[in-house]
A and B are shown apart, each in its own frame.
Chain A
């Protein structure tokens, strides 16, 4: 049997099969698929696309209603007054900041509490900045190393965004011996 005859006989079979298959699929696409893939929600049948649109419209309504309710319960929400109050809330409490910094210094050398001496602290809440002034003392010639360790510990604190590296220097104090004075500038989160 030649190739031409085989091709001729199978072409008719291919045509018939494709025709029936296509007709069935068109029928399914038009009548069966919509029936099995739509869901009745809020009184009407919806396909995936319509469900997504309905879902989005509900979400929009929900946000609008929530906003309306919040505006009634918290009436000054959109005012300059409210924004100033929020600014107050966002300020880190000074004494909490100071005690956190002191605790970090204490953890550095738990056996010796007189190593990190904080002379003063300046806090500018609006700029989220703090400045610590003091010195490292009572550790002899290791004072600069301890200062570097203190900086590392402070950088690891969750409320600190950045610390500008201070000048590392050692000065000889007639009463305390070698000390490393520091001014640490901190940017808070």
Chain B
């Protein structure tokens, strides 16, 4: 009996020790889990909890805006798509319309003594454009013009093909206005939508009417300031100057608006014979939907 007790004592000690160490290890693991969970709460949950109500609010605002915008969008999209297909990216380029645009521009700039004669205009055969389903023709011409005439010519090329006010604004400018609308007056999305889809020529002829109509939907000075800054974007200024003037009048008179989509492809500018005058050789890409 004494012998058994002497033998079992070390075994019991070893068993207690092994079980104690095993349980301590498990407790250490659980303690680490506690620490990780508390750290997660501090580093993950708290920032998320601060962000989630903002997200929920924005989603609610956006849902309302989508419902309101849907009412107006169906009609404006249909008419824009039709204008693009008929005038901006037609099946076949209407050369008479295209040449009439350059004639009107040339005549008006000559009247203002900002341009000499535009040389003969040459047009290449169509080639497939990088954009699938479109083809492109290069239209080349040469002329001497004053710096202001050059500016007007290049601006009209840049405006050619743009249909609405929204098209003249960069992606960042449009998004900034939409975000401001969310913050200031979510219901104003309809006014913004109508402003963006306003025909550019109509706006350029009567800018105050459309601007006042838009500003009526927003009262905060910060939004008014954002709108005013946007209205001073170089392309919108050019649209008001060129399309709001004699060139715009004649484009409207001869039903030449909307213009076909033109993109500046190559331009050589030489110093002209008099100060402020330049000789320009310009190649413009004109796009159409057909494969011609």
Report if A29-B30 is in contact (Cβ < 8 Å); known contacts: A48-B40, A76-B81, A94-B154.
yes
Q: Which of B20, B58, B66 contacts A62 (CB 8 A)?
A: B58
Residues of the B chain whose Cβ atoms lie less than 8 Å from the Cβ of A70: 175, 178
Cβ–Cβ contact B20 & A17, under 8 A: yes
Cβ–Cβ contact A21 & B49, under 8 A: no
A76 to chain B: closest residue by CB: B80
Residue A113 at the B interface, CB < 8 A?
no
Cβ–Cβ contact B45 & A58, under 8 A: no
Residues of the B chain whose Cβ atoms lie less than 8 Å from the Cβ of A76: 77, 80-81, 84
Residues of the B chain whose Cβ atoms lie less than 8 Å from the Cβ of A47: 37, 45
Residue B122 at the A interface, CB < 8 A?
no
Cβ–Cβ contact B266 & A124, under 8 A: yes
Residue A4 at the B interface, CB < 8 A?
yes
* B residues contacting the other copy or chain, number (CB 8 A): 83
Residues of the B chain whose Cβ atoms lie less than 8 Å from the Cβ of A26: 30
Residue A164 at the B interface, CB < 8 A?
no
Shortest CB-to-CB span from B117 to chain A, Å, is: 20
Which parts of B28-69 form the interface with A (CB within 8 Å)? 30-31, 33-34, 37-38, 40-41, 44-45, 48-49, 51-52, 55-56, 58-59, 62-63, 65-66, 69
Report if A85-B167 is in contact (Cβ < 8 Å); known contacts: A15-B20, A18-B20.
yes
Shortest CB-to-CB span from B186 to chain A, Å, is: 10
A62 to B73, CA, bound (A): 20
Cβ–Cβ contact A25 & B27, under 8 A: yes
A83 to B163, CA, bound (A): 14
Cβ–Cβ contact A37 & B48, under 8 A: no
Q: Which of A14, A66, A79 contacts B17 (CB 8 A)?
A: A14
B270 to chain A: closest residue by CB: A120
Report if A65-B20 is in contact (Cβ < 8 Å); known contacts: A89-B170, A124-B266.
no
* A residues contacting the other copy or chain, number (CB 8 A): 65
Q: Which of B20, B80, B132, B264 contacts A125 (CB 8 A)?
A: B264
Residues of the B chain whose Cβ atoms lie less than 8 Å from the Cβ of A125: 263-265
A127 to chain B: closest residue by CB: B266
Report if A55-B51 is in contact (Cβ < 8 Å); known contacts: A37-B41, A76-B81.
yes
Residue B250 at the A interface, CB < 8 A?
no
Residues of the A chain whose Cβ atoms lie less than 8 Å from the Cβ of B144: none
Q: Which of B16, B48, B88, B267 contacts A123 (CB 8 A)?
A: B267
Shortest CB-to-CB span from B52 to chain A, Å, is: 6
Shortest CB-to-CB span from A187 to chain B, Å, is: 16
- By secondary structure, the B interface counts as helix
Residue A19 at the B interface, CB < 8 A?
yes
Residue B241 at the A interface, CB < 8 A?
no
Cβ–Cβ contact A120 & B30, under 8 A: no
- By secondary structure, the A interface counts as helix
Shortest CB-to-CB span from B142 to chain A, Å, is: 13
Residue A95 at the B interface, CB < 8 A?
yes
Shortest CB-to-CB span from A113 to chain B, Å, is: 13
Report if A65-B9 is in contact (Cβ < 8 Å); known contacts: A21-B23, A33-B34, A51-B45.
no
A58 to B73, CA, bound (A): 26
Report if A119-B270 is in contact (Cβ < 8 Å); known contacts: A8-B9, A29-B34, A95-B151.
yes
A98 to B158, CA, bound (A): 17
Report if A65-B267 is in contact (Cβ < 8 Å); known contacts: A11-B13, A37-B38.
no
Binds A, one of B92-100, B188-196, B213-221, B222-230: B188-196
B266 to chain A: closest residue by CB: A124
Which parts of B219-254 form the interface with A (CB within 8 Å)? 234-235
Residues of the A chain whose Cβ atoms lie less than 8 Å from the Cβ of B178: 69-70, 73
Report if A98-B266 is in contact (Cβ < 8 Å); known contacts: A29-B34, A41-B52, A81-B84.
no
Cβ–Cβ contact A75 & B80, under 8 A: yes
Shortest CB-to-CB span from A96 to chain B, Å, is: 9
Shortest CB-to-CB span from A91 to chain B, Å, is: 6
Cβ–Cβ contact A81 & B88, under 8 A: yes
- Sample (11) of A-B pairs whose CB atoms are under 8 Å apart: A18-B24, A25-B31, A33-B37, A41-B52, A54-B52, A69-B178, A73-B69, A73-B73, A74-B166, A122-B268, A125-B265
